[in-house]
C-alpha cells in the first residue's frame, strides 16, 4: 500500500474531481507490480461512499477484452490478422475488411449504427446489424486513416463467437475473467452497482440513464466491472500475461498501428490492436477510455507498469487529467527504485564484439546491457537500436530503425571478427576499412587532404 502522505494527496485529487466536475460518484485505483496499492471513492452510491467492489459500466474498455480474445485466437493459429471478415462471417456486407483493420480502427468502417443510438436502445442480432448498418459501406478506404468504429468491434465479437462456437461473453468469462479471478465483471449490473446518471448542465440535478442489453453491439461497450477487477486486468495488460498471452503478443497489441494526428501538432492519441496509446511529449501510456450514457471510465498504464483505473456514474464531466494526475502523484511521492545491477553471463564471443564500430564514417558503440546488445551513436543522432540474441553470433533488432532487422557477426577463417552485417549495412572497426566487404568498395587512394 502507499504511504499515508501519498494516500492523502491521491484522495484530495479525487475529491477535487468529484466536486469540480459535479460527478454523482467516482472511484479510482492505482496498480503497481500487479497489486492494487491504493483505491478511493467520493460521492454517493445508495447513500454511501462507493468502494473498490462497486460495479460501474466500463464502456469501451470492453474492447480491450475483445482484443485479447482475438489475439488468443491468432496465437492459437485459428485466425490471422490479415484474414478478412468474409472468412468467418460471410454475409455482413463488409467481407473485404481484415481483422487487423477492425482491431486498429483503420478499416474505414462507420463509427456508429445506422438505426438509432445503440448506446440507449436495446440491440438486435448481427444479421439485423448487417442489414441496417454494415451494408451501408465504409466512410473511408480501408487502411487509409484512423476512424474510430464501435461497429467494427461488434463485428469482432461476432468473429470471436464464430470461431469459438459460443457467445463472445462466454468466451471472455471462461478464458479471461475466470483465470484472472475477476468475479465482479459481468455483462449486466450486479449489486452493488452505481446507477447511470446524467447531470444537468445548468443545475445540480440528475436524470437516470437507461440500462439495456446492446445485443450485437455489446462487444463495443457492454461490460460492468469494479476497481478491484479492472486493476487485475490492468496488471495483465501491463505485461504479466498470466499465461493467457505472451509478453510479445501484449507488446504487439500496444504498438501504435494508426495515429489520430493533429496536423502540425504531432500525434497525441493512437491505436494498436484493441488498445489506445497516448503520447505526451514522448512519454507513452496505453489502455483505453470508456463511456456509455450514465458512465465514464478510464484505464491507463505507463511504460513502467504503473496503472490507473477510474469510474464515474455520469454521462459527461470527468476530466481527462485525472488518470495522468493520479499516476504523477504516485511517481512523485513513491518513485520506483531502479533495477539492482547484477553481473550477467554473456554468450561466448560476445565481449570481442563490443566497443567502437563504424558505419561508413559514422562511429557507433556496441555495448552489452544485461542480455541485450545496444547500438549507440556517441557523436550525435544516429540509427540506434537494441538487439536480442537469436543464435550464435546473430541478433534481431528490438526498436528504432533496425527493428526486426538481423545483426550478424561475420568471422574470418581463424575465428576473429571481420565485421558486422546489420541488414546489409556493414560495420567495420575503422572508417571504411578497405579490408572489409564494404558495399561499393573503398576508394583505393584512401583518406586524403
Other Cβ atoms closer than 10 A to 21: 17
Whether the CA torsion 185, 188, 190, 195 is positive or negative: it is positive
Name beta bridge partners: 411.
417
Closest C-alpha among 400, 237, 318 to residue 59: 318
Q: Indicate whether 348 pLDDT > 90.
A: no
The torsion angle over the Cα atoms of residues 238, 239, 240 and 241, rounded to 10 degrees, is 110
Q: What is the pLDDT of residue 260?
A: 82
First vs last Cα of the chain: how many Å apart?
Answer: 67
Q: Which domains does the chain have, with CATH numbers?
A: 4-333 (3.40.710.10), 351-428 (no CATH)
| CA 208 – CA 376 distance, rounded (Å) | 58
For 233-281, write each residue's pLDDT tens digit: 999 999 877 899 999 999 999 999 999 876 666 788 999 999 999 998 7
Q: Where does 222-352 have alpha helices with state H? A: 227-235, 247-253, 322-333
C-alpha cell at 419: 565485421
pLDDT for 370 beyond 70: yes
Q: Which of 13, 9, 18 shows the shortest CA–CA distance to 312?
A: 18
Residue 131 pLDDT level (bands cut at 50, 70, 90): confident
Residues 394-431 have pLDDT tens digits of: 999 999 999 999 999 999 999 999 999 999 999 999 99
Q: Which residues are CB-contacts of 94 (< 8 A; sequence separation ≥ 6)?
A: 85, 107, 109, 134, 137, 138, 155
Which residue reads 556493414 in cell numbers?
426
15 in Cβ contact with 27 (< 8 Å): no
What count of Cα atoms within 13 Å lies in the side-chain half-sphere of residue 217?
Answer: 29
| Alpha-carbon span 144 to 280, nearest angstrom | 24
Nearest by Cα to 297 from 323, 261, 265, 268: 323
Q: Report the alpha-carbon distance of residue 297 to residue 320 in Å, rounded.
A: 10
Share of the chain above pLDDT 70, in %: 99
Q: 261: exposed, middle or buried (C-beta count within 10 Å: 0-12, 13-18, 19+)?
A: middle
Label residue 201 left, alpha or beta by phi (over 0 means left) and psi (-120 to 50 means alpha).
Answer: alpha
Cell numbers that stand for 41 in this block? 471513492
Q: What would the grid cell of residue 183 be?
A: 468475479
Give the pLDDT score at 30: 98
> Which residue reads 436524470 in cell numbers?
207
d(CA 297, CA 308): 11
- The β-bridge relationship of strands 266-271 and 295-302 is unpaired
For 293-335, what is each residue's pLDDT tens digit?
Answer: 999 999 999 999 999 999 999 999 999 999 999 999 999 999 9
pLDDT surpasses 90 at 11? yes
Closest CA to 412 of 387, 433, 391: 433
Average pLDDT, the chain: 94
**369 preceded by a cis bond (ω within 30 of 0):** no
The reported pTM is 0.92
Write out the E strands in 33-123: 35-43, 56-57
- Residue 136: its pLDDT value, please? 76
Helix/strand/coil for 275:
coil
Other beta carbons less than 10 A from residue 173's beta carbon:
16
- The 10s digit of each residue's pLDDT in 378-396 is 998 999 999 999 999 999 9
Query: Which grid cell is 330?
Result: 504516485
How far is it, in rounded angstroms, from Cα 39 to Cα 10? Answer: 9
- Tens-place pLDDT, residues 213-239: 999 999 999 999 999 999 999 999 998
Amino acid at each position: 500500500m502507499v504511504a499515508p502522505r501519498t494516500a492523502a494527496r491521491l484522495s484530495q485529487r479525487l475529491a477535487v474531481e468529484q466536486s469540480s466536475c459535479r460527478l454523482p460518484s467516482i472511484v479510482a485505483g492505482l496498480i503497481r507490480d500487479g497489486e492494487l496499492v491504493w483505491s478511493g471513492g467520493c460521492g454517493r452510491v445508495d447513500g454511501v461512499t462507493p468502494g473498490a467492489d462497486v460495479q460501474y459500466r466500463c464502456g469501451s474498455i470492453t474492447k480491450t477484452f475483445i482484443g485479447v480474445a482475438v489475439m488468443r485466437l491468432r496465437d492459437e493459429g485459428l485466425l490471422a490478422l490479415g484474414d478478412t471478415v468474409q472468412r468467418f462471417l460471410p454475409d455482413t456486407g463488409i467481407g473485404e475488411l481484415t481483422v487487423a483493420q477492425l482491431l486498429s480502427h483503420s478499416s474505414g468502417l462507420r463509427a456508429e449504427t445506422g438505426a438509432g443510438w445503440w448506446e440507449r436502445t436495446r440491440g438486435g442480432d448481427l444479421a439485423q446489424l448487417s442489414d441496417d448498418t454494415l451494408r451501408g459501406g465504409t466512410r473511408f478506404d480501408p487502411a487509409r486513416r484512423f476512424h474510430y468504429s464501435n461497429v467494427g468491434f461488434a463485428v469482432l465479437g461476432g468473429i470471436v463467437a464464430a470461431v469459438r462456437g459460443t457467445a463472445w461473453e462466454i468466451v471472455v468469462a471462461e478464458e479471461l475473467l475466470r483465470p484472472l479471478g475477476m468475479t465482479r465483471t459481468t455483462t449486466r449490473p450486479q449489486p452493488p452497482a452505481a446507477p447511470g446518471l446524467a447531470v444537468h448542465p445548468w443545475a445540480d440535478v440528475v436524470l437516470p440513464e437507461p440500462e439495456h442489453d446492446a445485443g450485437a453491439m455489446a462487444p463495443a461497450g457492454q461490460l460492468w466491472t469494479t476497481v478491484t477487477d479492472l486493476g487485475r486486468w490492468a496488471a495483465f495488460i501491463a505485461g504479466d500475461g498470466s499465461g493467457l498471452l505472451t509478453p510479445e503478443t501484449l507488446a504487439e497489441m500496444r504498438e501504435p498501428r494508426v495515429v489520430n494526428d493533429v496536423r502540425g501538432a504531432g500525434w497525441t492519441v493512437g491505436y494498436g490492436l484493441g488498445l489506445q496509446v497516448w503520447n505526451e511529449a514522448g512519454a507513452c501510456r496505453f489502455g483505453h477510455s470508456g463511456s456509455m450514457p450514465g458512465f465514464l471510465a478510464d484505464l491507463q498504464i505507463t511504460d513502467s507498469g504503473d496503472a490507473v483505473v477510474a469510474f464515474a456514474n455520469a454521462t459527461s464531466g470527468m476530466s481527462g487529467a485525472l488518470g495522468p494526475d493520479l499516476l504523477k502523484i504516485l511517481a512523485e511521492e513513491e518513485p520506483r527504485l531502479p533495477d539492482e545491477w547484477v553481473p550477467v553471463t554473456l554468450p561466448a564471443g560476445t565481449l570481442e564484439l563490443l566497443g567502437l564500430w563504424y558505419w561508413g564514417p559514422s562511429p557507433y558503440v556496441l555495448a552489452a546491457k544485461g542480455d541485450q546488445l545496444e547500438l549507440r551513436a556517441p557523436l550525435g543522432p544516429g540509427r540506434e537500436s537494441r538487439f536480442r540474441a537469436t543464435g550464435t553470433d546473430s541478433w534481431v533488432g528490438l526498436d528504432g530503425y533496425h527493428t526486426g532487422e538481423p545483426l550478424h557477426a561475420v568471422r574470418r577463417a581463424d575465428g576473429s571478427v571481420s565485421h558486422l552485417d546489420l541488414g546489409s549495412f556493414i560495420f567495420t572497426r575503422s572508417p571504411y576499412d578497405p579490408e572489409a566487404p564494404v558495399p561499393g568498395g573503398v576508394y583505393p587512394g584512401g583518406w586524403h587532404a
